[in-house]
Amino acid sequence: MTNSHPWWEGAVVYEIYARSFADANDDGVGDLEGIRRRLPYLADLGVDAVWITPFYPSPGFDHGYDVADYVDIDPRHGTLEDFDRLVADTHALGLRLVVDIVPNHTSSHHPWFQAALRGATDPYRDFYIWRDPAPDGGPPNNWVSHFGGPAWTWDPGSDQYYCHLFLPEQPDLNWSNPAVITAFDDIIRFWCERGVDGFRIDVAHGLAKDPWFRDNPQLAPVRAGMDPRRVFDSYEHRYDLDQNPNVDVYRHWHEVVRPYGAMLLGEVGPADPVRHARYHDYGRAIHRNFYLTISWMDWDPMHLRDRIRGIHLAAPDSNAWVLDSHDTSHATTRFGGGEVGAHRALCVKTLMMALGGMQVLYQGEELGIDNGSVAPEDLADPVSTRNPGAVSGRDGARTVMPWDDGPTNGFNSGGRPWLPSAHRPREETVAGQQGDPASFLERYRTLLALRRSRPELWKTPVEWLDTEDSVMIALRRGATVVAANLDEHDAGFDLPEGEWTVLYSSRFGAPPPISDGRIDVPAETTLILGAAATADAPHHN
């Protein structure tokens, strides 16, 4: 591989939520062997790479994002031998494998933290962030955890507090300690040597903290019982997140992975596109970065249009477009639910496919499914279980992948899933949609095939086209035009000079006719058109 054409350029990455994708040994928790057996499905879907959420040994307080050993496999997910088989099969199918790396925090069960608890003189003490109590004995500053409560927990053994931006069981590492940097270099090399093609970096914007640990400015009053995410948003995260030294870490990692040809894919939180883009640092730091803001948005066409335009402007090639993930409601649900929500999601996804950078699909997104339904007593996400009351957590997007209409929708051969959920009808499953041209699965497959066969769709320089409608985005790339109408009304659109033909519509059924160089783009629909002379010509990368 050469750096002039890295594998991730224009790649489509499929996110697998390890616990819920496929359970080969029927113990109720998804495993690497289950994933391996389903790889042909992903190859047929037309993705380029697979990203698997954490499968490392973990007590599971945050379902794997609390890692107790970075260089092994949790027995519930399999063994290192299973991992090697998975790598081999992934590559044999022409796919790439991306693993999750969690550098902001470890599990409190990690031997480093257990050693740190022994006291101030232990060599691992400085792997974590310790501060004396405030004069009143309370936490050292006003930082709050993403998952509720203060971002500090008192350690009676030393009468100091340790920092955790997530659960108390997820103590934050101290990235100003060079020994932490060295420890992660070794972890990264370990997985590169085992053949991985990239790393998805968890909370990439979290690592460095303000050296003076100043209070964050408070933006809005906080009341008892408020949703922890609203509490979190009531502060400007000026001192706990998005500190400049983060980018130094990734410039260094860029060099660590370079000899292996591996990619860094950052989970980057800042909503401001310019702050977000600096994690790419003109190609010297993280190769591709999620812009999470869009994956949290409800159906709000004007804001969606602005966010899409904004991040594309700031990060035209380094953004990783993500609409759906294990941390949000499914896009179908956020966008109105059912057929309406699923069509809106495909409308936005089709537009994204025509923008530079990487595309990320979350398991089940290609089926157009809504959130799974989980009984209150089965909820598992700490966002819900630790904040009883009106808090809706992330479980709805984490229910088992619906493969067929078997007892557990084909997740396994009947063992109770770790997150039990309502059975899905056949039409929401892979088996029910496969081969039906009017299904979401086949519409996504066709879209991915078009993107692959027509790289100018994401590669050729963009020319933005004028539109009459306020929530229409239209662009041209060479012999391809994309018109996305996010409005609830059909919208007329004047095509550029020449003969055009519709190659793809995010709506099922016959595409609208073109007359006198003008087309009516149906409401909440994206069309991809090709110049007639080239419409049928094969395009190669």
Which residues in 60-79 contact ligand NOJ (CB under 6 A)? 62, 65
Please give the Cα distance from 85 to 97 (Å, whole number).
12
- Kindly tell me which residue out of 203, 354, 448, 473 binds ligand NOJ, with binding defined by CB under 6 A: 203
CB-CB contact of 163 with 108 (8 Å):
no
**For ligand NOJ, which is the closer residue by CB, 203 or 486?**
203
**For ligand NOJ, which is the closer residue by CB, 102 or 521?**
102
Question: In Å, what is the CA distance from 416 to each residue of 17, 79, 378, 399, 420?
Answer: 17, 22, 12, 12, 7
Q: What Rg value do the Cα atoms of the chain yield, rounded?
A: 23
The site string for ligand NOJ over 455-494 (x = CB under 6 A, - otherwise) reads ----------------------------------------
Q: How far is the CB of 393 from ligand NOJ (least distance, A)?
A: 10
Ramachandran region, residue 459 (left: φ > 0; alpha: ψ -120 to 50; beta: rest): alpha
DSSP 413: S
Given the residues 15, 48, 172, 202, select the one marked as catalytic: 202
β 263-268/198-201 pair status = parallel
Report long-range pairs for 505-509 (Cβ below 8 Å, ≥24 apart).
Answer: 506/343, 506/346, 506/347, 506/349, 506/350, 506/443, 506/447, 507/343, 508/438, 508/443
How many residues make contact with ligand NOJ (CB under 6 A)? 9
Please give the Cα distance from 99 to 91 (Å, whole number).
14
Tokens of 79: 């063994």
DSSP 63: T
Tokens of 174: 């101290």
Residue 248 appears among annotated catalytic residues: no
Q: How far is the CB of 66 from ligand NOJ (least distance, A)?
A: 7
Tokens 């060099």 identify what position?
Answer: 255
3-state secondary structure of 288: strand
- Kindly tell me which residue out of 166, 232, 291, 362 binds ligand NOJ, with binding defined by CB under 6 A: 166
Asked if residue 202 binds ligand NOJ (CB under 6 A), the reply is: yes
Which residues in 258-277 contact ligand NOJ (CB under 6 A)? 267
**For ligand NOJ, which is the closer residue by CB, 202 or 524?**
202
Given the residues 267, 327, 370, 487, select the one marked as catalytic: 267
**For ligand NOJ, which is the closer residue by CB, 312 or 394?**
394
Please give the Cα distance from 254 to 262 (Å, whole number).
9
Tokens of 295: 């994956």
Phi–psi pair at 127, nearest 5 degrees = -75, -15
Q: How far is the CB of 267 from ligand NOJ (least distance, A)?
A: 6
**Burial class of 528 by CB neighbour count within 10 A (0 to 12, 13 to 18, 19+):** buried
Q: How far is the CB of 381 from ligand NOJ (least distance, A)?
A: 9
First to last CA, the chain: 15
Which residues in 93-122 contact ligand NOJ (CB under 6 A)? 102
**For ligand NOJ, which is the closer residue by CB, 101 or 430?**
101
Which residues in 209-268 contact ligand NOJ (CB under 6 A)? 267
Q: How far is the CB of 203 from ligand NOJ (least distance, A)?
A: 5
The site string for ligand NOJ over 275-314 (x = CB under 6 A, - otherwise) reads ----------------------------------------
Q: How far is the CB of 62 from ligand NOJ (least distance, A)?
A: 5
Beta carbons within 8 Å of 111's beta carbon, 6+ residues apart: 68, 69
**For ligand NOJ, which is the closer residue by CB, 17 or 411?**
17
For residue 252, what is the enclosing H or E element? helix 245-257
Which residues in 435-454 contact ligand NOJ (CB under 6 A)? none
**For ligand NOJ, which is the closer residue by CB, 112 or 500?**
112
CB-CB contact of 338 with 494 (8 Å):
no
> Measured at CB, which residue is nearest to ligand NOJ?
65
Q: Which amino acid is located at 239 in the chain?
A: Y
Residue 267 appears among annotated catalytic residues: yes
**For ligand NOJ, which is the closer residue by CB, 65 or 500?**
65
Q: How far is the CB of 399 from ligand NOJ (least distance, A)?
A: 15
CB-CB contact of 514 with 530 (8 Å):
no
Q: Which of 535, 464, 472, 527 is nearest to 499 (CA)?
A: 535
Q: How far is the CB of 65 from ligand NOJ (least distance, A)?
A: 3
Residues belonging to the active site: 202, 267
Task: Summarize as ranges the residues that interact with ligand NOJ (CB under 6 A).
Answer: 62, 65, 102, 166, 202-203, 267, 326-327
